[in-house]
Amino acid sequence: MVAGCGGSSGVSSSGGTNGGSTTVVVMASSTANDQLTGFEGSVESLTLTDKAGTQVAVISSPVSEEFIHLNGTVEPLVTVSVPQDTYVSASATVSSMDPLCSQLYPGSLYIDQMVDTGGVTVNLPAPITVTGNVMGLILNLDVSKSTPFQGACPDNLALVPPVGAVFGLTPITIAEAPTNSANGMMFGLRGIVQSVGSGGSSLTVNSLSPGASSSPLAWTVNLNSSTKLQGGLNASQLAAGTVVDMDAAVQQDGSFLATRVAMIDASASDLSVEAGPLLLVGAAQPVVLFDGTYDEGYLSPYMGGATYFNFGNAEFETSGQIDNLANLPFNATFSPANMVAGQRALLSTQATSQTGGPNYTPSTKMTLLPQTIDGTITAISSQGDFTAYTVQLAPYDLFTNLAVQPGQTTLLSTPNTVVVYADGNTQMLNTGSLSAGSPARFYGLVFNDNGALRMDCAQVNDGAAE
């Protein structure tokens, strides 16, 4: 292993600008084509400029984010009050925008972290009108333009391409009852609870963060009688130190309402969690090479890059974010017997220190997470209540690239193909048609079904160029 360092403007409600202020929720997102396994960075500032040249600070203190896990989805960065006006340009400053690329070359797994070489661009497809009570702004990282790879990770650090963040900034309308990433719904917010409101009425959560020296996000979400508590969780179990996985909807006053809360692990003084892709699943012993692209907890200052964990006594579960698993036309399971490199998971451990040798750091729980794949549709069919899209992956996709490697059992018969299942609840955010030959991004849970990759799809977006 080698380790190296458009559209038109939108408004939130009827009416024009009136000299007042609007609550603006700034959310991070990305558009990526699966060449990178991680892209961490810190947004130091974000400024809007109106037609008269007046500047308004939207982000004024650093916020850290890992963008690859937000491929097609969103996560809140800040909520601010912005003067109602039409803004024609934007600028930003960033630091440590460091993409991570993992790829198998003959005999070696390369994990290259490219270093930010400076420069940032913020593109507005159209002027942004800030108006109404509440609206959203999506700061979307265009990954391919930010790091122009030529189809593969560099196997020589001297060949690392330049890194310069290229963002798009677009407004969205916040729906009365948000349903997807384009109207105020935020899926898979994960972090550690810092405090609990009276009677479990709210949670303040520190997000999992990219790197030990970063500035983690802090979210406050409200809970009410409609909030779904999963896994037998009740409000009295929520406490500081608890690891949670949440979905939340932006409300018309700019606050966040948790629609779903699942407890990943209970509070413990030595608890640590990491989320990211699996790079290798050991054949000789229950060991996984795990790339924690964002993490939090006791071991966070010591967790750099890929780490080996022993999962021999770990509990395995699947994220409750998508709840139709029983209706799928295949057996959707995640277990030590069928997990494969390329799946994204959240790993938790209560080890007090890292260990080496054959034991490694023990994992207490492995949770399969939704992820985004980018590929080309090769066939479409109907299977019961589902539309099945057969999707061809690029050669650099982790599933394709890491399926056959020394030290792990080959489980996948067609690692370059995923059959994606979409039903009436799947959010169709694509603007182009879905037909044979079309590129698309699919977000959902990916399972290994007896050697075939299958996804239970929650959301569809336009594809990213391969």
Rounded CA-CA distance 22/193 in Å is: 29
3 — pLDDT class (breaks 50, 70, 90): very low
Calpha distance 194→38 (Å, rounded): 26
Q: Could you give the 3-state DSSP secondary structure of residue 189?
A: strand
Q: Judge whether 455 and 325 are in contact, CB under 8 Å.
A: no
Which pLDDT band holds residue 304 (cuts at 50, 70, 90)?
low
pLDDT digits (tens, 9 = 90+) for 208-263: 877 645 677 999 999 999 999 997 777 778 888 888 999 999 999 999 999 999 98
Q: What is the pTM of this model?
A: 0.92
Q: What is the mean pLDDT of residues 280-302?
A: 77
Query: For residue 199, is pLDDT > 90?
Result: no
Is the pLDDT assigned to residue 195 strictly greater than 80?
yes
Distance (Å) of CA 283 to CA 286, 288, 298: 7, 9, 29
Most confident of 14-28, 281-295, 395-409: 395-409
Read off the pLDDT of residues 337-357 as tens digits, 9 standing for 90 and up.
Answer: 999 999 999 998 876 655 555
pLDDT digits (tens, 9 = 90+) for 98-151: 888 888 777 677 777 776 667 899 999 999 999 999 999 999 999 988 887 766
What is the enclosing helix (H) or strand (E) of 157?
none
Percent pLDDT > 70 in the chain is 86
* pLDDT one-digit tens code per residue, 389-446: 999 999 999 999 999 988 899 999 999 999 999 999 999 999 999 999 999 999 999 9
Cα(419)–Cα(413) distance, integer angstroms? 13
User: Can you give the pLDDT at residue 377?
Assistant: 98
Domains located in the chain, CATH noted: 2-172 (no CATH), 185-265 (2.40.50.320), 371-462 (2.40.50.140)
Among 244, 246, 243, smallest CA distance to 228 is for 246
pLDDT at 386 over 90: yes
Q: Do 442 and 430 form a contact (C-beta atoms < 8 A)?
A: no
The lowest-confidence range among 59-68, 79-88, 236-245, 323-332 is: 236-245
